[in-house]
């Protein structure tokens, strides 16, 4: 292996692990929503034609791709870890979904007022950090759907957990 190739591989690995670490420290490590739960989560959002969905930390893009396949729905994912971001770009291009995008951006810097529905799968401490921004920016009538973790000290509009071994999904309506 030439020194130049070794250097390129080193830079790629540093970028992959470094950005994964940043994501884990900012809000949550990359762990995908279980395939069997994707539709359960989206049905909680009660998506209507013409609506815009955000996924905060969109991972491999499975949720935004599934949302964008529904009639009249646009989806934007925010992701700061390089490997899932690249993976999601490939997924969207492969499926020719022009109404879905993934931004390489920290979602704490996104403008939530543009979203009709926000979905997330984060951590308890990230939900606590996110709460003031949700309350400040989400517009009336919009919905937050959170996989696994609830918003602290706010009563969920609905909690879906069909069986005790299912992961809970929390719906909050603004
Ligand atoms: C538990 S995963 C959920 C992935 C996806 N939403 C799903 O349900 O399959 C959380 C994702 O959030 C990303 N993440 C963490 N903090 C972030 C931030 N501040 N901005 C954007 N993405 C972030 C992580 O890199 C990770 O991919």
Q: What is the pTM of this model?
A: 0.94
**22, 55, 80, 170, best to mutate for ligand 1 pocket (most atoms within 8 Å of CB):** 80
Q: Is the CB of 77 under 6 A from ligand 1?
A: no
What is the distance of C-alpha 34 from the center of its chain?
Answer: 13
> What is the chain's pLDDT, residue by residue, as a tens digit (174 residues)?
888 899 999 998 998 998 999 889 999 999 999 999 999 999 999 999 999 999 999 999 999 999 999 999 999 999 999 999 999 999 999 988 989 999 999 999 999 999 999 999 999 999 999 999 999 999 999 999 999 999 999 999 999 999 999 999 999 999
Atom from ligand 1 closest to the CA of residue 147: 8
Ligand 1 in contact with 84 (CB < 6 A)?
Answer: yes
Domain with 23 in it: what CATH number? Answer: 3.40.50.150
Total tally of structural domains belonging to the chain = 1
Between β-strands 100-104 and 52-56, what pairing exists: parallel, antiparallel or unpaired?
Answer: unpaired
Residue 72: give the domain boundaries.
3-173
CA distance 123 to 115: 21
For the Cβ of 106 lying below 6 angstroms from any atom of ligand 1, the answer is yes
């Amino acid at each position: 292996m030439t020194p130049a190739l070794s250097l390129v591989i080193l830079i790629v690995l540093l970028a992959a692990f470094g950005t994964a670490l940043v994501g884990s420290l900012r809000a949550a490590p990359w762990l995908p929503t279980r395939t069997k739960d994707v539709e359960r989560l989206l049905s909680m959002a009660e998506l209507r034609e013409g609506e815009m969905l955000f996924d905060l930390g969109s991972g491999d893009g499975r949720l935004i791709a599934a949302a964008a396949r529904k009639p009249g729905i646009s989806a934007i994912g925010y992701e700061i870890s390089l490997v899932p971001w690249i993976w999601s770009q490939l997924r969207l291009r492969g499926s020719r979904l022009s109404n879905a995008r993934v931004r390489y951006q920290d979602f704490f810097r996104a403008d939530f007022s543009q979203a009709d529905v926000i979905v997330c799968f984060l951590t308890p401490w990230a939900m606590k950090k996110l709460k003031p921004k949700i309350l400040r920016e989400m517009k009336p009538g919009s919905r937050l759907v959170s996989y696994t973790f609830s918003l602290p000290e706010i009563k969920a509009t609905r909690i879906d957990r069909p069986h005790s071994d299912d992961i809970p999904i929390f719906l909050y309506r603004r």
